[in-house]
Chains A and B, each alone.
Chain A
Amino acid sequence: MIYPKKLSSKKGDLIFKTFLISSVILGLLLVIINKLTMPEVPWAALSNAGIIYIWITVFYSIKKNTNIAGHVMIQAIAISFLTVFIDYKLGFQKWSINISIPIIIIIANATMLILTIVSHKKFIKYAIYQLIIVLFSMIPVILISENIIENKVLSIVASSISILNLILTFFLCAKDVKAAIIRKFHI
């Protein structure tokens, strides 16, 4: 005998699909119950947003061979969207864009800074996520220019921290950045 008796092709797929279908059914059930009981309060939409957020987190953690900076990035973006959605569903009093998103950006950048200082040799692994976080951190600037934000100070602080963070990390790792650019952009 040259093969084990029971070969398996990872039951993981089946479990994953079962959970995914269960989530869809649960989401639909919540909408129906919401419509039948308290149609004036959109709690099912909030619950479903929570389910989607959990799935984004789970899917990203399972599927991707991602480093810690990738998780910081995805969490920053996903939580921001979640807060905006909740704010919107509760009458859009703008607390999400005035307070939540700037705070999320500051925390994400602080985390990235700590990561860079603690292990600046790994910066190259974080670079692309750092760049995306910086781009994401520019959203408050756009919102300020469009006069959507009332509390400008917090947003300006958040975006500035993000740019400073990027400059600092580039100074710390200039050589590695050059090598990485050659590798990443070879044709």
Chain B
Amino acid sequence: MKGRKNKKENKLYWRRLDNSAKIFPIAAGRKYSTVFRLSAVLKEKVEPKMLYQAVNLALEQYKSFKVRMKAGFFWYYLEYNPKNVVVEEEKDYPCKYIEPRTNNNYLFKVTYFENKINIDIFHSLTDGNSGSMFFKEIVYNYLELIHKDELKEERSTRKIVENNTEDSYMKNYDKKAKGNSSSKKAYVLKGKKIGFSAISTIHEIIDLEELKQESRRYEATITQYLTAVLIYSIYEANYKKYKYKGKKPIKVCIPVNLKKYFPSKTMSNFFSYITLEAEMKKDNLITFDKIIEFVKEDFKKRLQEEEIIKTMSANVKLGNNFAIKIVPLAIKKLLVRLSYIEIRKYTTITYSNIGRIGIIGKYKDYIDYFLMLIAPEPVEKIKCSSCTFENKMVFTFTSILKDNSIEKFFYEFLKDKKINVEIESNGVLDDISKETK
């Protein structure tokens, strides 16, 4: 009887998309997937059957992920997905558009290759922070199934998850806050594209301690330091290389986890972003020292709580606008897709650092490192992301550019600073991995 009741409740379960998530299905397509990937590189080969079980166990805990996307008349929404989850061997490039019909309509896709477990997540479902919680649950479950005896006691120490899917944007935004948008278009990375829908992935596995020491020398945080290295790499290996004569700034978009600013336990999206604007010519940012000073200053200015609230509130107000709400979805799609071509020109590159992936107890012994990847797109041709596990920080470039000079420059810069860096790649642009091994 109880089972039947649960079945009925599941069948009726649906929820609105949160304020950030609303835009993604409207704008997303094959070229603009809005998918991010988390991977765990284990110290042993992955067993597919156990992984499938692990994903199902995780879905029992994280019910908010057992959903599919449906189109309403005005907005998309999420509803209970009765189908089985799909777990496959990795065959495609990372962060590709998740085709619903090949994935039983799930908004995330779990794949594996050798020692690696991947999860590709469509951003409408959740953000990197909550996505990593769900992914960790899969990894924990998997390791428990494989190493039953060794991890028997560890299981009891794990936290119980709250299935909270509130729209924390609606709860926390300031109705009176005014927007702080910049009107300047950004420098767009130059160079030929790879073609055949291929995505190059280059992971720079950095020694965390050495990186920390180097950042401290500049009195910068790791994110600030790596952002400065990234801007400098773009400047030297793209901006100068292609003899850019315009005045557009290099703009770096950095997602911000809003859970650090507001009390929220939601598993839905709850992030905002800041955009650094490096005026290379106007501010004469031609050396690394000048760039890092600028980055530190700009971070300080833009990471103030009022600034974060302003940006978040402006976006919420836009989604809450009654005139926008009542436009039929089909027309919204058309308008958003047209305007997104322009909107994307306001960012040169995105760098998302989800920070430390905290793994408890003995589970750590079976994991080598974690990876995070974000999908590049036709205008923002390179996207960067990083995450940390133990003493390994993995900085990842996902790119659709044939020219990998930025990745090379970034690597060589860190090496010059005597920081130990190893390279892993998916082989699309093979020369960088050959040269650096």
A187 to B323, CA, bound (A): 11
Structural contact, B427 and A3, CB atoms closer than 8 A: yes
A2 to B201, CA, bound (A): 11
Structural contact, B105 and A9, CB atoms closer than 8 A: no
Structural contact, A9 and B196, CB atoms closer than 8 A: yes
Chain A proximity of B14: nearest CB distance (Å): 5
Q: B residues within 8 A CB of A65?
A: 100-101, 105
* Residue in A7, A13, A185 with the greatest tally of chain B CB atoms within 10 Å: A7
Structural contact, A187 and B326, CB atoms closer than 8 A: yes
Q: Determine if B216 is an interface residue (Cβ-Cβ < 8 Å).
A: no
Q: Determine if A1 is an interface residue (Cβ-Cβ < 8 Å).
A: yes
Structural contact, A183 and B77, CB atoms closer than 8 A: yes
Q: Determine if B70 is an interface residue (Cβ-Cβ < 8 Å).
A: yes
Structural contact, B75 and A187, CB atoms closer than 8 A: yes
Q: Determine if B413 is an interface residue (Cβ-Cβ < 8 Å).
A: no
Structural contact, B326 and A5, CB atoms closer than 8 A: no
Q: Determine if A91 is an interface residue (Cβ-Cβ < 8 Å).
A: no
Structural contact, A3 and B425, CB atoms closer than 8 A: yes
Q: B residues within 8 A CB of A13?
A: 197
Structural contact, A186 and B16, CB atoms closer than 8 A: yes
What sequence of 0s and 1s flags, for each residue 98-122 of chain B, a beta carbon within 8 Å of any chain A beta carbon?
Answer: 0011000100000001111000000
Stretch at the interface among B89-97, B220-228, B266-274, B338-346: B89-97
Q: Determine if B426 is an interface residue (Cβ-Cβ < 8 Å).
A: yes
User: Chain A at the B interface: mostly helix, strand, loop or mixed?
Assistant: loop
A186 to B77, CA, bound (A): 9
Structural contact, A2 and B115, CB atoms closer than 8 A: yes
A184 to B427, CA, bound (A): 44
With contacts A2-B114, A2-B116, A65-B105 taken as known, whether A8 is within 8 angstroms of B91 at the C-beta atoms is yes
Give the contact-size bracket for chain A.
10 to 19
Q: Determine if B208 is an interface residue (Cβ-Cβ < 8 Å).
A: no
Question: In chain A, residues 41-90, which have Cβ atoms closer than 8 Å to a Cβ of chain B?
Answer: 65
Closest to A62 in B: B101
Give the contact-size bracket for chain B.
35 or more
Partner of B113, one of A4, A184, A186: A4
Structural contact, A186 and B74, CB atoms closer than 8 A: yes
Structural contact, A9 and B41, CB atoms closer than 8 A: no
Closest to B74 in A: A187
Q: Determine if B12 is an interface residue (Cβ-Cβ < 8 Å).
A: yes
Q: Determine if B285 is an interface residue (Cβ-Cβ < 8 Å).
A: no
Structural contact, B41 and A2, CB atoms closer than 8 A: yes
What sequence of 0s and 1s flags, for each residue 1-28 of chain A, a beta carbon within 8 Å of any chain B beta carbon?
Answer: 1111101111001000000000000000
A7 to B70, CA, bound (A): 30
A179 to B101, CA, bound (A): 25
Question: In chain B, residues 187-224, which have Cβ atoms closer than 8 Å to a Cβ of chain A?
Answer: 196-198, 201, 203
Chain B proximity of A103: nearest CB distance (Å): 32
With contacts A183-B77, A185-B74, A187-B75 taken as known, whether A7 is within 8 angstroms of B100 at the C-beta atoms is no
Chain B proximity of A57: nearest CB distance (Å): 16
Q: Determine if B390 is an interface residue (Cβ-Cβ < 8 Å).
A: no
With contacts A1-B114, A3-B113, A4-B91 taken as known, whether A9 is within 8 angstroms of B197 at the C-beta atoms is yes
Chain B proximity of A67: nearest CB distance (Å): 11
Q: A residues within 8 A CB of B100?
A: 65
A65 to B105, CA, bound (A): 9
Chain B proximity of A123: nearest CB distance (Å): 13
* Residue in A3, A8, A179, A185 with the greatest tally of chain B CB atoms within 10 Å: A3
A183 to B73, CA, bound (A): 9
Q: A residues within 8 A CB of B70?
A: 183
Q: Determine if B79 is an interface residue (Cβ-Cβ < 8 Å).
A: yes
Structural contact, A7 and B92, CB atoms closer than 8 A: yes
Q: B residues within 8 A CB of A9?
A: 92-93, 96, 196-198
Q: Determine if B424 is an interface residue (Cβ-Cβ < 8 Å).
A: yes
Structural contact, A3 and B201, CB atoms closer than 8 A: yes
Structural contact, A185 and B92, CB atoms closer than 8 A: no
Question: In chain B, residues 65-99, which have Cβ atoms closer than 8 Å to a Cβ of chain A?
Answer: 70, 72-75, 77, 79, 89-93, 96
A68 to B16, CA, bound (A): 27
Chain A proximity of B18: nearest CB distance (Å): 14
A186 to B73, CA, bound (A): 8
Q: B residues within 8 A CB of A5?
A: 427
Q: Determine if B428 is an interface residue (Cβ-Cβ < 8 Å).
A: yes
What sequence of 0s and 1s flags, for each residue 395-431 of chain B, a beta carbon within 8 Å of any chain A beta carbon?
Answer: 0000000000000000000000000000011111000
With contacts A186-B72, A187-B325 taken as known, whether A7 is within 8 angstroms of B77 at the C-beta atoms is no
Q: List 17 A-B contacts (CB under 8 A).
A: A2-B41, A2-B115, A2-B371, A3-B201, A7-B90, A7-B91, A7-B93, A9-B92, A9-B197, A10-B197, A65-B100, A65-B101, A65-B105, A183-B70, A183-B77, A186-B74, A187-B74
3 closest cross-chain pairs (CB), A and B: A9-B197, A3-B426, A65-B101
Which B residues are closer than 8 A to A by beta carbons? Answer: 12, 14, 16, 39, 41, 70, 72-75, 77, 79, 89-93, 96, 100-101, 105, 113-116, 196-198, 201, 203, 325-326, 371, 424-428
Which A residues are closer than 8 A to B by beta carbons? Answer: 1-5, 7-10, 13, 65, 179, 183-187
Given contacts A9-B92, A187-B325, 15 further A-B contacts (CB under 8 A): A2-B39, A2-B114, A3-B90, A3-B201, A3-B426, A7-B92, A7-B93, A8-B92, A9-B198, A10-B197, A65-B105, A179-B12, A184-B72, A185-B72, A186-B16
